[in-house]
Chains A and B, each alone.
Chain A
């Protein structure tokens, strides 16, 4: 008997039944299709402005810095200022994400912008995000041709440009948007820079992923 049959057999005998009948299976499929939600934190019962503020509060609470700007036009200046402030190189690896095409990088000629995936040598990466979750200040990234996953992890500093209209209340709200398309290979929920407490419970940033994260939130509504 294969491992599969033997395991399923033991499970069924433990549960005191055979394979489920068609009606039972249909009921389980209905449960899946219903996408039933559990209790969500009441703190997300807010309008769009409230959710954006909540997102920013929680993001800052997990050591991300946040810049709020009026439009994509403002992004190059804010990014350049941030890099100067943090004493970082002015070379940016930017995800080949069409939603970032609207950033007029030429406004700051001192910035060197390269689009595409990273080989691990880039110190600063900039990506978009699929959504921001106000509940915990979490960024959601979908892998795909516009967003290589390694860009979320290899550069020392990770900058993220997100529009206010992308901010949702809960994880479940984000899943509904993700499921409008195909499940990608990877969905990353990112809540702050990489950290570890593995040496005597002292928390340090930059264990293996980025040491710092900076969000530029574009008020597009």
Chain B
């Protein structure tokens, strides 16, 4: 499994805020994705209706997940392919290795797959003397830089072009070290040339899957570069690594979800390539892989069913919640410390690796609610982060200061008269002290706040609650 560094979120985040290159890169991404999504949504008046249907399709599928997975397997087998059920990352790695060994594979090309990141497939291949070659341009760049992805759809979003050029000069040693790599076009052309031969020479191709279709035994990938297609068409075998919640019943269901996927992700009407693969090449086909395998990974997901996190299994990995998250936008993806960053990662990671190991992730949110607002599958991400914070508190995790603070607050919150009495006193004192300036530049016990911004002094007229009570005929809810 990819190394877990989630426990260091706070330190990672501080370092990220001080990283000048990263901040430049994050500034470049901020408006692009957000504006393009909002324009794409405006061009499709039916967008929100389709979102509701997409949500309902996944809910229906999850309620019948066992049936649809078995049906998917049956259809794959009928077409001459194989489904491998893997409970753990280790099961998945060994299954993939066995296929590669049998085919005597030396090199494996890879399309973009987050599941391969989750199971740490590249390191495992290298330990077993198989060369993994990432073919998505972003993944290729970070493979050269020996980094994990920092975004689920734009893995190298944290890298600036001069850093790409440095990586190419260092790794493409057979080329003129003084060649021009100023322009992105030159970088792209060089990567295209380097990878073209690798596609033709690879023994096995590994891709992920955006959908598995129970009706036909089909796996689906969605890309813009076409790298996934060359990866899965040319080698002897195509191995799909997919987590089990990717299944949907029919081609129509997949079509409905596709209508919200690209628009939410990149703001495209449709991604350039959506590819539906069913079994190995047919006897009369002129190309295509001789073998087709689907490695179906559970890795704790089945345990989310029937819990308050079941809805997270609707996620289609579009990345909209990352793009719209003020925390992600400030610290980037690496700070989160594991495979899945941003709001979806803060919810999914604790379920996959445990609340304890995931540490601060559910706290990496301002609860502004934008993630839920833009989620094409309408996943209530803030609500789930609240559940996780409760779990964190209940299992005695988190810093002592925070725990004590929450306990103290809870003590007063449960005693409304005392709470109102004390807030009224505090209100009067702060109001009197701050009347001249209307704000505080420093406040004892609130240094964490006043270090970055002033604390407004209460305005005359009493606390909100006392004003509310004073209003004649205020409609107080019945006790």
| Chain A positions near chain B (C-beta within 8 angstroms) | 2-4, 6-8, 10-16, 19-20, 24-25, 28, 31-32, 35-42, 58, 61-62, 96, 116-117, 120, 136-138, 143-145, 148-150, 152-154, 170-172, 175, 179, 183-202, 204, 206-210
B278 touches A183 (CB 8 A): yes
A196 touches B225 (CB 8 A): yes
B195 touches A208 (CB 8 A): yes
B259 to chain A, nearest CB (A): 8
List 18 interface pairs A-B (beta carbons < 8 Å), by A numbering.
Answer: A3-B86, A7-B87, A7-B296, A8-B66, A10-B298, A14-B310, A15-B66, A20-B64, A32-B249, A41-B44, A41-B46, A171-B255, A185-B282, A190-B273, A201-B29, A207-B225, A208-B192, A209-B229
**CB-nearest residue of chain A relative to B57?**
A38
**CB-nearest residue of chain A relative to B278?**
A183
Which range contains the number of B residues in contact with the other chain? 35 or more
B250 touches A15 (CB 8 A): no
A199 touches B187 (CB 8 A): yes
A14 touches B303 (CB 8 A): yes
Q: Is B395 an interface residue (CB 8 A)?
A: no
> Which of B133-141, B330-338, B344-352 lines the interface with chain A?
B133-141
CB-contact partner of B276 in A187, A206, A210, under 8 A? A187
In the bound complex, CA of A3 to CA of B295 (Å):
11
**Contact (A42, B273) CB under 8 Å given A149-B233, A204-B184, A204-B188:** no
| Chain B positions near chain A (C-beta within 8 angstroms) | 25, 28-29, 32, 44-46, 49-50, 53-54, 57, 63-71, 79, 84-87, 91, 135-138, 141, 154-157, 160-161, 164, 184-185, 187-188, 192, 195-196, 199-200, 214-216, 218, 224-227, 229-230, 233-234, 244, 249-253, 255-256, 258-259, 266, 268-282, 284-288, 296, 298, 302-307, 310
**CB-nearest residue of chain A relative to B281?**
A185
B303 touches A196 (CB 8 A): no
A208 touches B255 (CB 8 A): no
**CB-nearest residue of chain B relative to A203?**
B224
Interface contacts beyond A175-B252, A185-B280: sample of 12 additional A-B pairs, CB < 8 Å, sorted by A:
A7-B296, A11-B302, A32-B250, A143-B281, A143-B288, A185-B278, A189-B273, A194-B273, A195-B224, A197-B154, A208-B225, A209-B226
In the bound complex, CA of A207 to CA of B187 (Å):
10
In the bound complex, CA of A170 to CA of B63 (Å):
28
B273 to chain A, nearest CB (A): 6
In the bound complex, CA of A164 to CA of B249 (Å):
31
Contacts of B53 in A (CB 8 A): 38-39
**Contact (A189, B270) CB under 8 Å given A38-B50, A38-B252:** yes
A10 touches B303 (CB 8 A): yes
Which of B67, B255, B277 has the most chain A CB within a 10 Å cutoff? B255
